[in-house]
């Protein structure tokens, strides 16, 4: 049975410094970066005492191959201010992951070198993985398809 990796809850202000510390401790890989929308699940969440849960939570997983360890950071991101520091300078491999989190959830990564859509077309309005994004609102789009009739 595998152990659950340790989880650290940090504030947005502590986020960049915490990531820098993990890198310096030997966590050489940022394995995953995603966002969770807790719009409908706020009462069911368990958070450390003193921490106020927000609608959005940034979840970032790190890996130390040398020590065979994993670590996870969780950061509360308020709906009223969806900005958080980019960690691209520390882990260049997160470039696409931060763009995806921006595209799908609307989280803005300050300092990111190219924070643009990565999955949806440039002119797309909204962020499809938010819980308040209407189901069935995504139309099928075809590019350069000509009718055979």
CATH label of the domain that carries residue 33: 3.30.460.80
48, 8 Cβ separation under 8 angstroms: no
Q: Which domain holds residue 105?
A: 7-110
Q: What is the mean pLDDT of residues 104-125?
A: 95
- What one-character-per-residue DSSP string does 89-114 give? TT-GGGHHHHHHHHHHH--EEET-TT
75, 84 Cβ separation under 8 angstroms: yes
Contacts of 22 (CB under 8 A, 6+ apart): 62, 71, 73
- Asked, for residue 74, whether it belongs to a domain, the answer is yes
- Asked, for residue 130, whether it belongs to a domain, the answer is no
- Asked, for residue 142, whether it belongs to a domain, the answer is no
Domain count, the chain: 1
Kindly report, residue by residue over 42-53, the tens digit of the pLDDT.
667 888 988 889
- Asked, for residue 80, whether it belongs to a domain, the answer is yes
pTM listed for this prediction: 0.86
What pLDDT, on a 0 to 100 scale, did the predictor assign at position 137? 53
Give the whole-angstrom CA distance, residue 114 versus residue 122: 13
- Asked, for residue 91, whether it belongs to a domain, the answer is yes
Kindly report, residue by residue over 17-32, the tens digit of the pLDDT.
999 999 999 999 999 9
């Amino acid at each position: 049975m595998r152990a659950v990796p340790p989880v650290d809850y940090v504030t947005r202000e502590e986020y960049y410094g915490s990531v820098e510390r993990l890198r310096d401790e030997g966590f050489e890989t940022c394995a995953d970066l995603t966002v969770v929308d807790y719009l409908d699940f706020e009462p069911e969440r368990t958070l450390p005492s003193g921490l106020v849960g927000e609608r959005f939570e940034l979840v970032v997983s790190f890996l130390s191959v040398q020590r065979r360890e994993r670590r996870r950071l969780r950061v509360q991101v308020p709906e009223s201010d969806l900005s958080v520091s980019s960690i691209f300078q520390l882990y260049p491999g997160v470039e696409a992951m931060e763009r995806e989190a921006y595209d799908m959830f609307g989280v803005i990564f300050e300092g990111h070198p190219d924070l643009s859509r990565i999955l949806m077309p440039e002119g797309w309005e909204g962020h499809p993985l938010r819980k308040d994004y209407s189901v069935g609102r995504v139309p099928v789009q075809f590019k350069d398809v000509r009718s055979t009739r």
